[in-house]
Every structure is written in C-alpha cells, then in structure tokens.
C-alpha cells in the first residue's frame, strides 16, 4: 500500500532543503571511514561523589546537535561536509568503577590506534572519565598539556573514597602521566575547594586561575598565553571542560551548580581560542545531568562547545 504522508522509516520532522543540522554530519564508524572529528561517549557517573545521572549526557548532547545548523554566518562558511565519526558509547560495568576505568581507557586506545580522525571529542559522564582518557592520549602522543575549565581542582585524596569524579587530576599527577606545570586550571571558584587541595595545586606547580583572575585579566588573554606556553613545551594539548565551571544561570543541569562562574559566551569564546592552536586536538565535556537540566540548556551549551572546538567559529 502507498501512504500519502506516512513513512515508517523516518521520523516526522520538518526538513528545510537548505539547512543541514550538525547532527546530520555524524556518521557511525566503519572500517576505512575517516573524518575530521572522532566522537566517543563515556557514560560513566557511578564514581560521582554527588548524586548524578551524568551517564545520560552523551545521548542528550548528541540530540542537542540536531538543534543547530552547520552554517557559520561569522565565517560565511557551511561546515556541512565536515564529517563527525561516531565510535558509539563504551558499555559501563554495572558495579565496578575500576573495571569501568579499564574499559574507558582501552576503548579510547583502540579508537586512537585506528587513526581515523584528526581530532577527538569525549562525552562524559562525570569528571572521573578524564583520568583514563588523558592517560590513553598520553600513551599515544607523548607529553600532554591540559587546560581544565572547572570550579574545582579535582585533586581530592584517594584514601577517603577511591577514584571519584573529584580525583582525576591527582591520579594523573601522582602517576606521572602529566606534569603539574602542564596543567592549567581556569575558573576555580571561592568556597568550592579545601585549603589542602589549594596547597596541593600550588606545590605541584599547577597554573591556577581563579574567577577573580578572569575578571581582572579576561579569559581570552589567559587562554592565549597558556596555550602558547604549552605549545612550546608539550606534544599534544587536551581540553577538559567541566560544565560546572559555568554559572548556574547558564548551566543549570550540572550536579554541582553554583553562582559566580563563566557566562556561556566566556566559555565558548575561550574554547574557540584554545582550538585555534594546532596542538589542541582533543576535548572532553563532563558533568551534565540531563535529569536536572532546564529545557536542555546545559546540553545545548555543550553542543555549542563541541561546535567551537570543531569549527573554530
């Protein structure tokens, strides 16, 4: 039978022939298929020290990409031909955090071994995913520099709860995967950390920029200065974007929301600035709980973070 309007194979979504949505440029990985950007979901949030359903964020962010077009009016360029190769989501162990970390690490290693893409985006999950992810990139590319957008240092001790979303950078530092001077933290906020962890960051030589520094100096000069420095010292630059670095008014779907963070424009402009440097080739986005979001505001902002990293526009 021929249907006049029904099409059982397609959703009933309006399609403008002149508009390409970012989500339409995503293709599943197949052997021999290459693309500009590789995408992988790391839906782990069992290690969160606060109640979180951040494991649902990769799906939510992918969905949000269907809300935006590939055309940049600023650059007068359409990125519809820039393909995103999706490697899917890593299945998380139902009970073991350590087994989950091993799965994430191995999956990213296998993705990188294929050399199908020039740059990579990891969608968390809580911030605990940065430990196995950065470790995998370090094994592949050598000396790693990291710029971390965050309200928190994430250098908590491991004695009080093992590896959590508050420990990834302590783990990386203690295991010698990264050096303190190669870690830049921007957006650290008052009343969000302990004195011991502030001291630890200083002792390890981490380059820390409080929100007061951002207000005084501006985020773009700081990012430009630090990426230029890292570019002369490391082989590869990795961006780690904790969405709770953004003010709660702009990112209500974070487990650890708080006032006084970045505006959405500050976050987006700083990601674009960092992405302009050739050695900046990977990024993770973490700490979005879609169940706590308002009209997908935080997932939509994360989608724009992806676009700034991919298109540099």
Q: Where are the domains of the chain?
A: 22-311
Give residue 37's pLDDT.
Answer: 98
- Tell the residue number behind the tokens 């298929």, with chain if given: 33
Mean model confidence pLDDT for the chain: 97
For the chain, percent of residues with pLDDT exceeding 70: 100
What confidence score (pLDDT) does residue 7 get?
84
Q: CA-CA distance, 226 to 2, in Å (whole number)?
A: 62
pLDDT for residue 51: 86
Query: Can you tell me the mean pLDDT for 121-142?
Result: 98
What is the average per-residue pLDDT within 97-115?
97
Pick the CATH number of 22-311 from 3.40.800.10, 3.90.1110.10, 3.30.420.130, 3.30.70.1230: 3.40.800.10
Average pLDDT over residues 67-78: 97
Element of type H or E holding 211: helix 211-217
Would you tell me how many other CB atoms lie within 10 Å of the CB of residue 3?
Answer: 7
Distances (CA, A) of 1 to 4, 6, 7, 71: 10, 11, 12, 39
Distance CA 267, CA 240 (A): 12
- Say what the pLDDT of residue 170 is: 98
**Rounded mean pLDDT, 230-243:** 98
Distance of CA 91 to the CA centre of its chain: 19
> Phi and psi (nearest 5°) for 265?
-65, -40
- Given a contact cutoff of 8 angstroms between Cβ atoms, the answer to whether 58 and 89 are in contact is yes
């Amino acid at each position: 039978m021929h249907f006049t309007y029904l099409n059982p194979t397609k959703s009933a979504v309006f399609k403008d022939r002149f508009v390409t949505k970012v989500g339409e440029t995503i293709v599943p990985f197949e052997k021999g298929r290459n693309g500009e950007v590789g995408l992988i979901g790391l839906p782990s949030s069992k290690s969160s020290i606060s109640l979180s359903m951040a494991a649902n964020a990769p799906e939510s962010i992918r969905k949000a990409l269907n809300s935006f077009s590939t055309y940049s009016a600023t650059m007068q360029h359409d990125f519809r031909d820039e393909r995103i190769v999706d490697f899917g989501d890593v299945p998380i162990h139902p009970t073991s955090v350590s087994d989950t970390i091993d799965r994430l690490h191995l999956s990213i290693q296998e993705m990188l071994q294929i050399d199908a893409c020039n740059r990579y985006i990891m969608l968390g999950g809580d911030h605990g995913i940065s430990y196995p992810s950065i470790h995998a990139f370090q094994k592949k590319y050598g000396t790693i520099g990291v710029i971390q957008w965050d309200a928190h240092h994430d250098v908590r001790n491991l004695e009080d709860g093992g590896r959590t979303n508050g420990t990834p950078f302590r783990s990386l530092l203690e295991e010698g995967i990264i050096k303190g001077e190669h870690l830049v933290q921007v957006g650290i906020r008052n009343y969000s950390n302990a004195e011991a962890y502030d001291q630890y960051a200083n002792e390890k030589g981490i380059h820390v920029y409080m929100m007061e520094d951002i207000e005084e100096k501006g985020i773009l000069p700081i990012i430009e200065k630090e990426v230029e420095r890292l570019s002369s010292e490391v082989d590869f630059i990795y961006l780690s974007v904790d969405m709770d670095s953004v003010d709660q008014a702009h990112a209500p779907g974070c487990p650890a929301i708080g006032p006084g963070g970045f505006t959405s424009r500050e976050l987006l402009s700083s990601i674009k600035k960092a992405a302009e440097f050739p050695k900046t080739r990977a990024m993770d986005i973490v700490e979005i709980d879609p169940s706590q979001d308002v009209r997908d505001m935080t997932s939509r902002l994360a989608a724009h973070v992806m676009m700034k990293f991919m298109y540099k526009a």
